[in-house]
A and B are shown apart, each in its own frame.
Chain A
């Protein structure tokens, strides 16, 4: 199972919006609405930010939103804040009781 494809880096100024893409195949991202996104600060455990493509867990700011088109999912962070600077990973159910993650995107707040 190959990893999902994410850009290695993304950046934006405070208050701006940034979108991170996550490209897979029809077996994973495109085949299920089970895409999730995780935020990881250095030295910390990942934290669930989005599940089932576009749903936000309780406590996650509504500045974070998710979407999907075909084999590509996206995470958008609006109104960037300094604390949003972190690594972001997408994950997807890949069928056959397998899961796959993206390679991660380092988000820098300029």
Chain B
């Protein structure tokens, strides 16, 4: 059974940092590019970042502006998102999603909620 499980979300003050994780099972993780996608409360989906299957290439949405870093450890079948200098507007559910062909999102994890608030 293919499964992506995010963790690491929580409540954090503005300006602080948080690291999200996404543990993969039931798929050959090293064959997948991996995305982070977020969804603010009551809002639509917003693409955050992608990392290539081998971790050598990373790309980010314009709003990231150097604050987030996507990485992966294929030996642990785990994807990460390091988020620094968090802002109120970063409050969202963060989903990880696989991408074998660099053009669609499947499968998806269940999401982890990040709340940035003082």
Task: Write the residues of chain A forming the contact surface with B, with a CB cutoff of 8 angstroms.
Answer: 1, 3, 32, 34, 36, 38, 44-48, 51-52, 57, 89, 91, 93, 97-104
Task: Report whether B46 and A101 are in contact in the complex, using a CB–CB cutoff of 8 Å.
Answer: yes
How many residue pairs bridge A and B at CB < 8 Å?
A: 63
Residues of B near A99 (CB, < 8 A) are: 35, 47, 50
Identify B44's interface contact among A47, A48, A101, CB under 8 A: A101
Task: Write the residues of chain B forming the contact surface with A, with a CB cutoff of 8 angstroms.
Answer: 35, 37, 44-47, 50, 57, 59, 61-62, 95, 97, 102-111
A11 to B102, CA, bound (A): 32
A57 to B108, CA, bound (A): 14
Task: Report whether B103 and A45 are in contact in the complex, using a CB–CB cutoff of 8 Å.
Answer: no
Given A34-B104, A46-B105: A98 and B44 interface contact (C-beta under 8 Å): no
A sample of 18 cross-chain residue pairs with beta-carbon separation below 8 angstroms, ordered by A number, consists of: A36-B103, A38-B45, A45-B95, A45-B110, A47-B108, A48-B106, A48-B107, A97-B59, A98-B47, A98-B59, A99-B35, A100-B47, A101-B37, A101-B44, A101-B46, A102-B44, A103-B44, A104-B45
Task: Report whether B108 and A3 are in contact in the complex, using a CB–CB cutoff of 8 Å.
Answer: no
A51 to B104, CA, bound (A): 6
